[in-house]
Amino acid sequence: MRIRNASLVLAGSAMVAALGTASPAVADSSPTLPHPSPTGVLAVQKQAMAAGAPGALTRIDSGSTVYRLAMGKADRAAGTPMDADRRFRVGSVTKSFTTVVLMQLVAEGRVDLDAPANDYLPQALPDDRITVRHLLNHRSGLWDYTNDMFYNTVPGFEAVRNKVFTYQELIDLSTAHAPTNQPGAAYSYSNTNFVVLGQLIEHTTGMSMGTQYEQRIFKPLGLKNTSYVHPRTTLTGSYARGYVRDDDTTLPLVDSTEQTASWAQSAGAVISNSADLNRFFAAVVSGGLVPPAQLREMMSLVPVNADGTQSYGLGLRGRTLSCGVTVYGHTGTVQGYYTYAFTTADGKRRVSSMANTSNNGTVNTILGGTLEAAFCGTDPTRASTSARSAGGDHTEDIAPQIARR
């Protein structure tokens, strides 16, 4: 079926066997959800393209029904149409993958959430009061080095596109700055936190993050379209190319697909597709990856905006939508891609959306509207401003302290 260049496919879906008997760690007391609104998703995608995205895709898994919706171009030069199964760079959604690895180590007794992070690091952070928990919930106070690295978006990206960093080099860029707050005092989103966690995991286990992801997540869940290829620069298979907007918006978009993503590593270098992301987050909340005690920690959310519609747990974002449901997952920004990947607390409805551009706060905010369409059944392009704001905001997951239009 074709709807204005966007395809909609309904099909059966299956879970890994382990999820069939698992119970969510957080009871889902939200009202019964209305059916998803495919037309609402398409309206959001159309609006995102009007604001500068070459293309957009969304996959909704609702019980045994799958909606695949896509619009625009996956490759501008070749004119290749977007489709909902294409792979892409998921950016900070990687933080949830890293958190799962870390929480498994906690469950194994190898890491203590409330111990100083320095107990597990090869080189100490400047403040011994920073705990592992502070890194996971962005309350360490460590400055986000990407604020400097990408202060000028495209020149900053081109300077690091092919560079390979060590964790310590990135950490040193952060600790050259004064902290943003005392450890534990306030929420301050920082990629540095998850770079430190990558170093912590590798030092504790003696194995690379790629190996940890593969052995603990990718293989057990059968995520065949998910990979961590750092520092290789290319995507394989069927993928969407990414396009970053220059700060001078009169200049053309820059194809940012090929990059090491070494500036991000365990904070943002995973590659995946919408089906795998939905499967991953269903596994997280349903207890298929992390034991109940650690999952409760992950899903214990603290508000991070004034009206309480946005919150953060341990490596998980929360969004409270206009229909009263709170969904769990993460946003992702990496050069050329915006991602939203969220699920209900019971894992029964999941959505992943991507627009293949970045450095465009308007597109980022608009794309968040797919959450309202998928979970609340609304067309957020017709909704009130307050309803739309629950789906997204103008903050970025990279250079979060730099104002972007």
The catalytic residues are 92
Take residue 107 and report the two structure tokens written for it: 């469950």
CA dihedral 343, 345, 346, 348 (to 10 degrees): -20
* Backbone region of residue 201 per phi and psi (left: phi > 0; alpha: psi in -120 to 50; beta: other values): alpha
Give dist(CA 312, CA 310) in Å, integer: 7
Element (H, E) at 28: none
3-state SS assignment for residue 71: strand
CA triple 44-49-51, angle to 5 deg:
95
- Residue 380 · residue 73 · CB < 8 Å: no
Q: Locate 111 and state its tokens.
A: 């890491």
Using alpha carbons, select from 220, 255, 300 the residue that is nearest to residue 15: 220
Cα 352 from Cα 332, distance rounded (Å): 11
- Closest to 71 (Cα-Cα) out of 119, 142, 5: 5
Report the C-alpha gap between 57 and 71 in whole angstroms: 6
Tally DSSP H helices, then E strands, for the chain.
14, 16
Place of tokens 């229909």: 323
For the record, the structure tokens of 249 come out as 């918006």
- The 10 Å Cβ neighbour count of residue 26 is 17
Place of tokens 């009202």: 31
Write b or e for each residue in 300-313: b if 16 or more Cβ atoms lie within 10 A of its Cβ, otherwise e.
Answer: bbeebeeeebbbbb
N-term to C-term CA, the chain: 36
